[in-house]
Amino acid sequence: MSVGRRRLKLLGILMMVNIFIYLIVEVSKSSSQEKSAKGRVIIPRSKFWRKHTPHKAYWNKQQQKLELLYNPILTLLSNMTVEENLISNASLLSSCEPDPWVSSEVSDFANLPDRFKDFLLYLRCRNYSLLMDQPNKCKHKPFLLLAIKSLIPHFDRRQAIRESWGKEITAGDVTVKRVFLLGQTPPEDNFPDLSDMVKFESETHQDILLWNYRDTFFNLTLKEVLFLKWVSSSCADVRYIFKGDDDVFVNTHQILDYLKSLSKEKAKDLFIGDVIKDAGPHREKKLKYYIPESVYEGSYPPYAGGGGFLYSGELALRLSNASEQVLLYPIDDVYTGMCLQKLGLAPEKHKGFKTFDIEEKHRNNICSYTNLMLVHSRKPQEMIRIWTSLQDPHLNC
């Protein structure tokens, strides 16, 4: 081997050694910096806190105020803990007196429909007593709790559900329980006095939860919040919850099969239904879901149609906590989407939920229901007919 080639080979070896030493030094420097950084405050290189854009709509402005109360950085600057800050602003959070300022803060308050005036005046009130409770409903840690939104006069719907998809069952380690969620239907809303009948119904079936608030469309959100609070205090160990209306048909067996197939990771944040995305408030006054621009601005987060959805008991507890940081909103399914967004989650669309019904040509075909979880809407007689047909051991689909 010539001298020149030996020198080149030696030079190559030296370069490789130098590179190796350089890498070792850099790795050790990085490691020492990480260790020393643990005890230091790291100053960010750019803004990490997004400044709120001032809103004109009343709900948005009040929501921003609520978020400021829960902001740990701002409360620290005022030499108060978050808890102390919340206590000092208790009237802002849960007052059940009419808000004396709302009429001056909402530009067109005088021209709003009465349902909006009532909602805004009592926007912060959530403290309603439970008149009929079922404290032992979740004594044996149900696998699935069916929570059905109903009105006091809907006796036939509730009974049809009890006799069909809402039956309470225990099969092995799977227990299904049922509750109906009710508010008051007062004379001023032209309802007859049915208090004795619903009392008898509750004593007979032990499945009525009745709160002392006015049961209206806008107060369905209140029903959601009060139910989540009840779950936290009386049914915290439930595995899964189906929550829906009293005019839907539910294939309970299909839901149970689906839930049994879930992994632990999937089950933790489970929230499925017929999901609506890229939606916003309707501005047409004649529509049921009309929201004035003076009340709310912006788009809606993804949400599951209120006809019915399925979620985990663990998530229900987190939703209950999140709901304390979200002002009540007139549309309950949108509100639930807001609470999910607060948790950094979004509902998942499942093809088994048909909140806008199935094609008319398939409605009388019983096999159309075998792979579905929910169909909206169905009358009491239809619920019983579909359920009975699905139980037929000779059904061949």
Q: How far is CA 309 from CA 68, 152, 159, 261, 376, in A?
A: 31, 22, 21, 18, 12
- Does residue 27 belong to any structural domain of this protein? no
Q: Identify the three-state secondary structure at position 51.
A: coil
| Cβ neighbours around 302 below 10 Å, total | 18
Same domain, 216 and 256: yes
Same domain, 283 and 219: yes
Same domain, 159 and 236: yes
- Does residue 134 belong to any structural domain of this protein? yes
Least confident of 37-41, 248-252, 355-359: 37-41
In the chain, DSSP assigns E strands to 130-132, 144-149, 169-171, 174-184, 208-214, 240-245, 248-250, 271-276, 303-312, 348-349, 353-354, 374-376
- Does residue 261 belong to any structural domain of this protein? yes
Same domain, 82 and 213: no
Same domain, 164 and 289: yes
pLDDT in the model for residue 95 = 81
Asked whether the bond before 36 is cis by omega within 30 degrees of 0, the reply is: no
Q: Which two tokens stand for residue 146?
A: 């069916």
Domain CATH for 152 = 3.90.550.50
Half-sphere exposure of 149 (CA within 13 A, CB side): 23
The parent domain of residue 366 ranges over: 130-390
pTM for this prediction: 0.86
8 Å CB contact between 286 and 355: no
109 forms beta bridges with: none
Same domain, 286 and 337: yes
Note the helical H segments in 236-280: 252-260, 264-268
349 forms beta bridges with: 273
DSSP 243: E
- Does residue 12 belong to any structural domain of this protein? no
Instruction: Check whether 27 has a pLDDT greater than 60.
Output: no
Same domain, 287 and 346: yes
- Does residue 117 belong to any structural domain of this protein? yes
Same domain, 106 and 243: no
Kindly report the average pLDDT of the chain as a whole number.
Answer: 90
Q: How far is CA 107 from CA 61, 294, 378, 397, in A?
A: 13, 7, 41, 59
pLDDT in the model for residue 150 = 99
Q: Out of 121, 151, 166, pick the residue that ends a domain.
A: 121
Q: What is the DSSP string of 293-347?
A: TTT--SPPPPEEEEEEEEEEHHHHHHHHHHHTTS---SSHHHHHHHHHHHTT---
- Does residue 13 belong to any structural domain of this protein? no
- Does residue 260 belong to any structural domain of this protein? yes
The DSSP element (H or E) to which 224 belongs, if any, is helix 220-234
Q: CA angle, 230 as apex, 224 and 232 as ends, to 5°?
A: 105
Place of tokens 């409903």: 137
pLDDT band at 37 (very low <50, low <70, confident <90, very high): very low
- Does residue 5 belong to any structural domain of this protein? no
Average pLDDT on 125-150 reads 98
Same domain, 175 and 90: no
Instruction: Check whether 235 has a pLDDT greater than 60.
Output: yes
Q: Out of 71, 86, 121, pick the residue that ends a domain.
A: 121
Q: How far is CA 392 from CA 49, 161, 203, in A?
A: 60, 18, 32
- Render pLDDT for 87-98 as a digit per residue (tens, 0 to 9): 455 555 678 999
Q: Out of 121, 150, 172, pick the residue that ends a domain.
A: 121
Same domain, 138 and 115: no
- Render pLDDT for 253-304 as a digit per residue (tens, 0 to 9): 999 999 999 999 999 999 999 999 999 999 999 999 999 999 999 999 999 9
Q: Identify the three-state secondary structure at position 128.
A: coil
Same domain, 104 and 228: no
Average pLDDT on 328-347 reads 98
Q: Which two tokens stand for residue 351?
A: 């093809």
pLDDT band at 49 (very low <50, low <70, confident <90, very high): low
Q: Which amino acid is at 214?
A: R
Question: Nearest CA to 378 among 248, 254, 282?
Answer: 248
8 Å CB contact between 99 and 117: no
Same domain, 204 and 272: yes
Instruction: Check whether 205 has a pLDDT greater than 70.
Output: yes
How many structural domains does the chain have? Answer: 2
